[in-house]
Chain A
Amino acid sequence: MGTREQRLAAIRKSFPDEALVAEVPGGDLQTFRVDRKVLVDLARHLKDDPDLDFKLLLDVCGVDYPERAERFESVYHLSSLTHGHRIRLKVPMPADAPVVPSVYPVWRSADWFEREAFDLMGILFSGHPNLKRILCHPAFQGHALRKDYDPGQRWLLREGEQDEPVWARAVQEDEDHFETQVLNLGPSHPASHGTLRTVVRLDGEVITQAETEIGYLHRCFEKMAESHTWNQVIPYTDRLNYCSSMMNGVGYALAVEKLLGVEAPPRAQSIRIILSELSRVMDHIVDIGANLNDIGAMTPFLYMYEAREELYTVLEACCGSRLTMSYVRVGGVSHDVPADFGEGVRFILKRVPQLVADMERLITENRIFRQRTEGVGKLSSEDAIDWGWTGPCLRACGVPFDVRKSYPYMGYDQLDFKVPIAHGGDTFARYLVRVEEIKQSLRIVEQALEAMPPGPIIISDHNVALPAKEKVYTEMESLIWHFKLVMEGMKVPAGEVYGFTEAANGELGYYIVSDGSGKPYRIKVRPPCFAIFQAYPHMLKGHMIPDAVAILGSLNVIAGELDR
């Protein structure tokens, strides 16, 4: 992996000036303060130098510090797939000129992340090809995530002309003097999962140009998190990727625990692993089922939903809710699992493989399905990394990257499982990888269930976790802690952390900044399908409309996570 000194030396080779690139001591990741003048040069160096090799730009995020001289900060999280190291870049800029050069020419994954930072924080990325609002309505005024923006403020947005890309308005004629057609796919369309709008230009039936519009489900998750206590954010995280809401909560709790310096007890870790993997199975089941349904195979969809119903029964018995679980707490989980949890999970372990096998019998070697999906939405591994892809979609391009293996958390390194990869990079490969991941996840669940230790399910630190109810009813001391924790929220030490886990769609990152108070200062979610979906319009070129539907289904875009 290389040490901090080696990475610093590799950067100093080309950037010896301490004033331009300075290392910030400490922190969970090696952090560099970069002058915006050299940002693009440094980015290119970081990407191309073989000792650094930061091919994957994970996240671009804006942070607002109104009391500082240089008010805004643009934060970049980089990862190297070959060396496994990660760094963070911080580019400060003054309030009167929040301009920073765009790194889009270096990493294409910066495309939507920079647009988001512009939309919500008002940071201008000079040189960005399409810098306009992405999550908020075009008529929205102000930048919602700035600290001086009142979250209670309301705007009356009139239903104006639909926002159309410039190229869609221009009339284009081909050599036969027939006008090519511009078509809207979505936002409300049964084949677009969630409300996503795609504008395509059609030449005959072939898509020649496409652009997507998102943000229809924007619920200001990040702004709302800033006005709630640390634990109150958990019900909000359930609504990010609502097909596997458990994993969002786990990722969030792990990030906060990292900042607090605590660790959940082993039994809680075990419960988290089992329910996360069951959620992953569920997410893949929904994705495969919906993808098949879109392209005309209704039957496997119903088989998959049968499995999902049984999975929901187990999750509901643990958490009390089927979709929005709110089961994880910082420091553990809210309750112990029911007494017959083991039997329920063993039923799942027996039943789900049968249904998956039935689906495989119908689909995997089905000639119609293969002709619909093979070679459709093909992306090379280099392009996929460039777009910031992670998760099953990246693994279907032949890159064996999985956070559970590379940066094990919660004891995933104790469990025996393999990372499925495929080399096709197309819709069919993504299907194959997901099917194999279901099997691997069930293997993990089996092992974790066998090894589930007894013990407490939440840490006993009264600064973090609510005391047990029987103590609250009987002891004064516990009642006081209970009261303090509910009324003021837990105090998370000041600092910042980037916590990342492998969610169903890929790397789910939480960049959390705390100022030591009872509420988060800034939470930035790195949603995996945000990076995946930004490649979608580029993948469409040369395909037909039915292919667009097949590709969209295979990318597993969850609007709740995409728009936050």
Chain B
Amino acid sequence: MNTPDVVVCDAKPLRFLQRFYLIEVFKGLAVTLRHFLGNLFARKYTVTVEWPEVKREYSERLRGRHILLTRDDGSPRCVACYMCETACPAECIYIEAEEDPSSTVEWEKRPRVFTIDLLRCVYCGFCVDACPKEAIIMSRTHEMAFVTRGEAIVGLPELLQKGPVAKLDLGYRPYFGAPRSHISLPVPVRSVAPEIAEGSPVGR
């Protein structure tokens, strides 16, 4: 149905002075010069980043490469329940379960094979949402280059958490209470590259 609540923005005819190029050209140059000088000296609103020396900082919700968290004893938290595999809309997770021999209770499962095809993954974070054990979370690692397709299919050795959690560049993960993310605007230009934890999947 047509609505009466409109604002008409028809083209206005050009005024007499606007028909001359020269004045308009200088007006335009004033605008571009302002932006040029602003980008050259003040740099307050510059959104371009001198990558790779300077890295753009993203929020703590960025959905990047996955991490499989471990328990205190270094075994994976994953119990091979197949929830993430089922929830994955891209069908990029493959799990094979086995019995956990070190378990104190009977019939405890653990993943024998856990692979993620990082080229198939759409980084939607549904696996993180689906996980009932907080075993799979995501890091902020988003610069991933592979030489072969096979290299992009990562398994347990590559995915398992290395080093303490605090040192990982954590991204999207379940949280309670206050939302943990921040918006830094204007876009941080001179942000420092995050420190890469030794042995983390980032520095592989």
Q: How many residues of A contact B (CB 8 A)?
A: 82
In the bound complex, residues from chain A placing their C-beta under 8 Å from that of B180 are 338
Residues of chain B touching chain A, judged by Cβ–Cβ distance below 8 Å, are 1-12, 14, 18-19, 21, 24, 27-28, 31-32, 35, 45, 47, 58-59, 61-63, 81, 83, 86-87, 89-90, 122-126, 129-130, 132, 134, 138, 171-172, 174-176, 178-187
In the bound complex, residues from chain B placing their C-beta under 8 Å from that of A483 are 81, 83, 132
Interface centre among B11, B129, B182 (most CB of A within 10 A): B11
B179 adjacent to A337 (CB under 8 Å): yes
B187 adjacent to A486 (CB under 8 Å): no
In the bound complex, residues from chain B placing their C-beta under 8 Å from that of A231 are 126
**Whole-angstrom distance between the Cβ of B161 and the nearest chain A Cβ:** 18
Main secondary structure on B side of the interface with A: loop
In the bound complex, residues from chain B placing their C-beta under 8 Å from that of A466 are 129
B186 adjacent to A236 (CB under 8 Å): no
In the bound complex, residues from chain A placing their C-beta under 8 Å from that of B181 are 317-318, 338
Choose from A1, A310, A362 the contact partner of B31 (Cβ within 8 Å). A362
Q: Can you identify 17 A-B contacts, CB atoms within 8 angstroms?
A: A235-B124, A236-B89, A303-B35, A310-B47, A316-B58, A338-B182, A339-B179, A340-B182, A361-B27, A365-B12, A365-B24, A366-B24, A418-B5, A420-B9, A424-B11, A432-B10, A436-B7
In the bound complex, what is the Cα–Cα distance between A427 and B182 (angstroms)?
A: 40
Choose from A83, A338, A365, A486 the contact partner of B86 (Cβ within 8 Å). A486
A343 adjacent to B134 (CB under 8 Å): no
Q: A316-B62, A402-B3 are in contact. Are A469 and B186 (CB under 8 A)?
A: no
Q: A310-B187, A338-B179 are in contact. Are A405 and B11 (CB under 8 A)?
A: no
B61 adjacent to A320 (CB under 8 Å): yes
In the bound complex, residues from chain B placing their C-beta under 8 Å from that of A235 are 89-90, 122, 124, 126
A338 adjacent to B9 (CB under 8 Å): no
Nearest 9 interchain pairs by C-beta: A84-B1, A344-B183, A320-B61, A317-B59, A405-B3, A338-B181, A309-B47, A235-B124, A232-B89
**Whole-angstrom distance between the Cβ of A99 and the nearest chain B Cβ:** 35
Q: A316-B59, A321-B62, A358-B31 are in contact. Are A344 and B89 (CB under 8 A)?
A: no
**Whole-angstrom distance between the Cβ of B132 and the nearest chain A Cβ:** 5
In the bound complex, residues from chain A placing their C-beta under 8 Å from that of B8 are 420-423
In the bound complex, residues from chain B placing their C-beta under 8 Å from that of A440 are 7
B183 adjacent to A341 (CB under 8 Å): yes
Assess whether A482 is interfacial by the CB under 8 Å rule.
yes
**Whole-angstrom distance between the Cβ of B29 and the nearest chain A Cβ:** 10
Q: A313-B185, A399-B2 are in contact. Are A362 and B28 (CB under 8 A)?
A: yes
A400 adjacent to B18 (CB under 8 Å): no
Q: A317-B61, A428-B11, A429-B11 are in contact. Are A401 and B86 (CB under 8 A)?
A: no
A321 adjacent to B5 (CB under 8 Å): no
B9 adjacent to A487 (CB under 8 Å): no
In the bound complex, residues from chain B placing their C-beta under 8 Å from that of A228 are 89
In the bound complex, residues from chain A placing their C-beta under 8 Å from that of B18 are 365, 367
Choose from B5, B27, B134 the contact partner of A419 (Cβ within 8 Å). B5
A320 adjacent to B24 (CB under 8 Å): no
In the bound complex, residues from chain B placing their C-beta under 8 Å from that of A347 are 185-186
A366 adjacent to B28 (CB under 8 Å): yes
A317 adjacent to B45 (CB under 8 Å): no
B125 adjacent to A320 (CB under 8 Å): yes
A324 adjacent to B132 (CB under 8 Å): no
In the bound complex, what is the Cα–Cα distance between A472 and B130 (angstroms)?
A: 10
Choose from A335, A348, A433 the contact partner of B61 (Cβ within 8 Å). A335
Main secondary structure on A side of the interface with B: helix
In the bound complex, residues from chain B placing their C-beta under 8 Å from that of A487 are 83, 86
Q: A235-B89, A428-B11 are in contact. Are A420 and B6 (CB under 8 A)?
A: yes
**Whole-angstrom distance between the Cβ of A249 and the nearest chain B Cβ:** 11
Q: A318-B61, A318-B181, A418-B7 are in contact. Are A306 and B47 (CB under 8 A)?
A: yes
A324 adjacent to B2 (CB under 8 Å): no
In the bound complex, what is the Cα–Cα distance between A405 and B124 (angstroms)?
A: 32
In the bound complex, what is the Cα–Cα distance between A466 and B160 (angstroms)?
A: 26
| Apart from A313-B183, A320-B171, A367-B21, 4 more pairs, CB < 8 Å | A235-B122, A316-B61, A317-B181, A482-B132
Choose from A338, A432, A468, A479 the contact partner of B59 (Cβ within 8 Å). A338
Contact code string A500-532 (vs B, CB < 8 Å = 1, else 0): 000000000000000000000000000000000
B187 adjacent to A313 (CB under 8 Å): yes
Q: A313-B185, A420-B9, A470-B176 are in contact. Are A406 and B3 (CB under 8 A)?
A: yes
A338 adjacent to B183 (CB under 8 Å): yes
**Whole-angstrom distance between the Cβ of B8 and the nearest chain A Cβ:** 6
Please provide the chain A residues from 224 to 266 with a CB less than 8 Å away from any CB of chain B in the complex. Answer: 228, 231-236
**Whole-angstrom distance between the Cβ of B183 and the nearest chain A Cβ:** 3
In the bound complex, residues from chain B placing their C-beta under 8 Å from that of A4 are none
In the bound complex, residues from chain A placing their C-beta under 8 Å from that of B90 are 235
Residue of B nearest to A399 (CB): B2
In the bound complex, residues from chain A placing their C-beta under 8 Å from that of B1 are 1, 80-84, 401, 406-407
B6 adjacent to A400 (CB under 8 Å): yes
In the bound complex, residues from chain B placing their C-beta under 8 Å from that of A340 are 182-183
Choose from A341, A366, A418 the contact partner of B6 (Cβ within 8 Å). A418
Contact code string A418-459 (vs B, CB < 8 Å = 1, else 0): 111111100011001101100010000000000000000000
A422 adjacent to B11 (CB under 8 Å): yes
In the bound complex, what is the Cα–Cα distance between A233 and B126 (angstroms)?
A: 11
Q: A303-B35, A358-B35 are in contact. Are A334 and B184 (CB under 8 A)?
A: no
In the bound complex, residues from chain A placing their C-beta under 8 Å from that of B62 are 316, 320-321
A429 adjacent to B10 (CB under 8 Å): yes
Residue of A nearest to B20 (CB): A367
In the bound complex, what is the Cα–Cα distance between A314 and B47 (angstroms)?
A: 13
Contact code string A305-333 (vs B, CB < 8 Å = 1, else 0): 11001100110111111001010000000
Please provide the chain A residues from 336 to 385 with a CB less than 8 Å away from any CB of chain B in the complex. Answer: 336-341, 343-344, 347-348, 351, 358, 361-362, 365-367, 370, 374
A314 adjacent to B130 (CB under 8 Å): no
**Whole-angstrom distance between the Cβ of B3 and the nearest chain A Cβ:** 4
In the bound complex, what is the Cα–Cα distance between A486 and B172 (angstroms)?
A: 19
In the bound complex, residues from chain A placing their C-beta under 8 Å from that of B31 are 358, 361-362
In the bound complex, what is the Cα–Cα distance between A321 and B181 (angstroms)?
A: 13
**Whole-angstrom distance between the Cβ of B39 and the nearest chain A Cβ:** 10
Please provide the chain A residues from 30 to 84 with a CB less than 8 Å away from any CB of chain B in the complex. Answer: 80-84
Assess whether A473 is interfacial by the CB under 8 Å rule.
yes
**Whole-angstrom distance between the Cβ of B57 and the nearest chain A Cβ:** 10
**Whole-angstrom distance between the Cβ of B162 and the nearest chain A Cβ:** 23
Assess whether A299 is interfacial by the CB under 8 Å rule.
yes
In the bound complex, what is the Cα–Cα distance between A407 and B3 (angstroms)?
A: 10
Residue of B nearest to A421 (CB): B6
Choose from A321, A358, A399 the contact partner of B123 (Cβ within 8 Å). A321
